[in-house]
Structure 1
């Protein structure tokens, strides 16, 4: 980055969060600027205590549109410089974006590991081997004496990608989902199929859904119905006399 660009970026530092401001940029009565994220949180300018104007600093915005900004994941290793219009798309897929271990969602584990996607696979293989299923495409699962009060969580390796699987019963409703661990715009490239079949194979239920991103809250997926969602009374019809629960799931690339 040249010195002139660095000087301009210094002027674009938000006085509150110290991140670089991108359009829209608003200002106070004295002419101090603030970023679009911090503006709704404040009643007065943090620099001079004057009220904010409902006016955008168009001159500064025009300069900002022409500058190249460092990725917000610069501190974790990203060296990309991009114009504001390209930043959102890049940051969704940035390989240096930090990810939580998917088993942070598992109540019995609640792993606190956070790191780049490139290191996640090794972390899971090293620390959570007993919660890992490595498959080519699909898997038959049998849970002996299934108990509806338990929540089941696993990590799936398939297509050289990482997925998170969870199923549980809440308020007499059975939920099953698989999420893709990676950029938000990449999960839609995978579909999972869930199949229940009676032990005599006379009845079955089969449902398929797109694997949503791990960045989407699981409760939001449950509420939207974008996952397997069955009355538990229906699921119980597929347990055998010992209470064993058998199902199959498949992951395929779209």
Structure 2
């Protein structure tokens, strides 16, 4: 009986527009219909009565919302967790039964992470899955959208490219939580075949999978460039060629600039030969000068680094695939 009553109270907290559970702030129209904050921002007027929205909030429902325990959104997949409204977002991002959507347009598939690669293979696309280093070809067609799956470091990513409003956007999304996405970055290197020194390189951190394309394809969330800036790289067939590289961020192994400078200063001090100030007279009996070390420090020959063919190829910025 108590369980049935609890379920009926939860129904009262369902948004009539998107059917998700409402949490503070809960908005109202002039008639009194309540909607969630997300739907309120999207709608110019109430979808139920066509009335105007007011600035008032449903305080009674908000008070109920903070006391309730909500089922996980993955309950149909078997998750039995009961969560407060403040716990829902964190849990649902990491829920082991979370369903992941296919990134291809007009594909309604939602499934487990371990089934995603097999689903993508069933699409039978002409492009094979990418790895951590790839040569990509993008057709410069207005208002186009391209997506492929990336397998790197035993993880899965979505690679997305969009050309819209005379601007190119590239984004890589880690298929997992946003926090884990910060452990990976990606790089776009546009180049001109046969002219190795002519290139444009851009990079950014990977985004989490929960960022929708509307937010993803923005200058704040991914790398982008004006089409006019890459016109000299486009081939006669209107194809743009570039490298895509997915990298693992290992910040704990990278020395900060200040620490590096301190080490260089410390190293320089240890290698410097201290000469006695002769203006102070003859050395005291306990003072000794290591002549051998001083001679080796002052007469040390300077060698020039060799620049063979391998180094030249490395400096050109190309990766052997």
TM over 0.5: yes
Equivalent position to 1:153, from 147, 158, 168: 147
For structure 2, the residue ranges without an aligned partner over 5 or more in a row are: 27-32, 41-45, 50-55, 250-321
Q: Hey, which of these two has a bigger chunk of strand by percent?
A: 1
> Does 1:17 pair with 2:18?
no
Q: Could you tell which deviates more after superposition, 172-181 or 35-44?
A: 35-44
> Does 1:133 pair with 2:129?
yes
Is the alpha carbon distance of 1:225 and 1:81 closer, same or farther for their aligned partners in structure 2, counting shifts above 3 Å? Answer: closer
Structure 1 residue 241: deviation in Å? 5.8
Which residue of structure 2 lines up, in the alignment, with residue 123 of structure 1? Answer: 119
Structure 1 residue 140: deviation in Å? 2.1
Which residue of structure 1 lines up, in the alignment, with residue 76 of structure 2? Answer: 75
Which residue of structure 2 lines up, in the alignment, with residue 209 of structure 1? Answer: 204
Is the alpha carbon distance of 1:187 and 1:35 closer, same or farther for their aligned partners in structure 2, counting shifts above 3 Å? Answer: farther
Is the alpha carbon distance of 1:82 and 1:206 closer, same or farther for their aligned partners in structure 2, counting shifts above 3 Å? Answer: same
Give distance in 1, aligned partners of 2:167 and 2:20: 46
Look at both structures and tell me which one has the larger radius of gyration over its CA atoms: 2
The DSSP-based 3-state class of the residue aligned with 2:97 is coil
- TM-score scaled by structure 1? 0.69
Is the alpha carbon distance of 1:113 and 1:171 closer, same or farther for their aligned partners in structure 2, counting shifts above 3 Å? Answer: same
Give distance in 2, aligned partners of 1:225 and 1:60: 37
Q: Which has the higher contact order (CA 8 A, sep 6+)?
A: 1
1:1-254 to 2 correspondences below 5 Å: 6=3, 9-10=6-7, 12-15=9-12, 17=14, 37=36, 55-56=59-60, 64=68, 69-104=70-105, 110-128=106-124, 130-135=126-131, 137-142=132-137, 146-149=139-142, 150-198=144-192, 199-240=194-235, 244-254=239-249
Q: Could you tell which deviates more after superposition, 115-124 or 180-189?
A: 180-189
Q: Is the 8 A contact 2:168 2:224 kept in 1?
A: yes
Root mean square deviation of aligned Cα: 3.9
The DSSP-based 3-state class of the residue aligned with 1:216 is coil
Structure 1 residue 90: deviation in Å? 0.4
The DSSP-based 3-state class of the residue aligned with 1:246 is strand
Q: Is the 8 A contact 2:66 2:85 kept in 1?
A: no
Q: Is the 8 A contact 1:25 1:56 kept in 2?
A: no
Which residue of structure 1 lines up, in the alignment, with residue 282 of structure 2? Answer: none
